[in-house]
């Protein structure tokens, strides 16, 4: 059993699927917690949830990297429609990953800056909440295409048109 687990942990497609809920589900839970902490006016709770927002938003980077490494093995496993959804998933991730990076950076700023300037705490938390909502939407948009790669039961619309890549 340990051998199987260790083998799976060497496969980037397995790691990608294993950790890809963090930037979405983890962020959603942290976002809800941050809203509650904001209304409770608890700076300690805000710091705790900002740290979780930071971790979940930053986790998009390894999810993205393992997804890149998993592309070729997944292409070989996917049917033609799945390959089209994979290309769409990849394009969305490449174009929109920066929302997660911006949210991670903003969360770090919202943790540190109020140490010197306490009055900026509430506005920064509000901006993190707003950017968090946008980033959750972006994450859902990316994941929507990703879920259709291997799950035919989720394909309730035609696949996106595949654009031919120029030869290198």
133 vs 128: CA distance, rounded Å: 8
**Residue 51 lies inside a defined structural domain of this protein:** yes
Residue 167 maps to a domain: no
- pLDDT tens, position by position, 31-40: 999 999 999 9
Give the chain's domain count. Answer: 1
- Interatomic CA distance for residues 58 and 113, integer angstroms: 19
Does the residue 165 lie in any domain? Answer: no
Whole-number pLDDT of residue 166:
47
**Which residues fall within 8 angstroms of residue 55, CB to CB, at 6 or more apart?**
22, 26, 30
Q: What's residue 53's pLDDT?
A: 98
Distance CA 69, CA 83 (A): 15
Full domain range(s) for residue 79: 2-154
Structural domain contains residue 119: yes
Q: Does residue 163 sit within a domain? A: no
Residue 80: inside a domain = yes
First CA to last CA across the chain, in angstroms? 43
Average pLDDT, the chain: 89
Q: What is the pLDDT of residues 58-109, one digit of tens each?
A: 999 999 999 888 888 887 887 888 888 888 999 999 999 999 999 999 999 9
């Amino acid at each position: 059993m340990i051998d199987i687990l260790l083998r799976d942990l060497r496969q980037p497609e397995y790691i990608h699927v294993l950790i890809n809920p963090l930037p979405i589900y983890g962020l959603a839970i942290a976002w809800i917690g941050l809203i509650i902490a904001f209304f409770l006016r608890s700076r300690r709770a805000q710091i705790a949830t900002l740290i979780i927002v930071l971790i979940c938003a930053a986790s998009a980077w390894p999810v993205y990297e393992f997804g890149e490494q998993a592309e070729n093995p997944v292409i070989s496993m996917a049917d033609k429609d799945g390959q089209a959804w994979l290309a769409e998933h990849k394009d969305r991730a490449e174009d929109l990953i920066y929302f997660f990076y911006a949210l991670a950076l903003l969360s770090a700023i919202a943790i540190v800056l109020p140490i010197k300037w306490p009055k900026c705490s509430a506005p920064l938390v509000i901006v993190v909440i707003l950017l968090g909502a946008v980033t959750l939407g972006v994450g859902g948009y990316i994941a929507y295409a990703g879920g259709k790669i291997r799950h035919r039961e989720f394909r309730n619309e035609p696949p996106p048109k595949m654009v031919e890549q120029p030869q290198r």
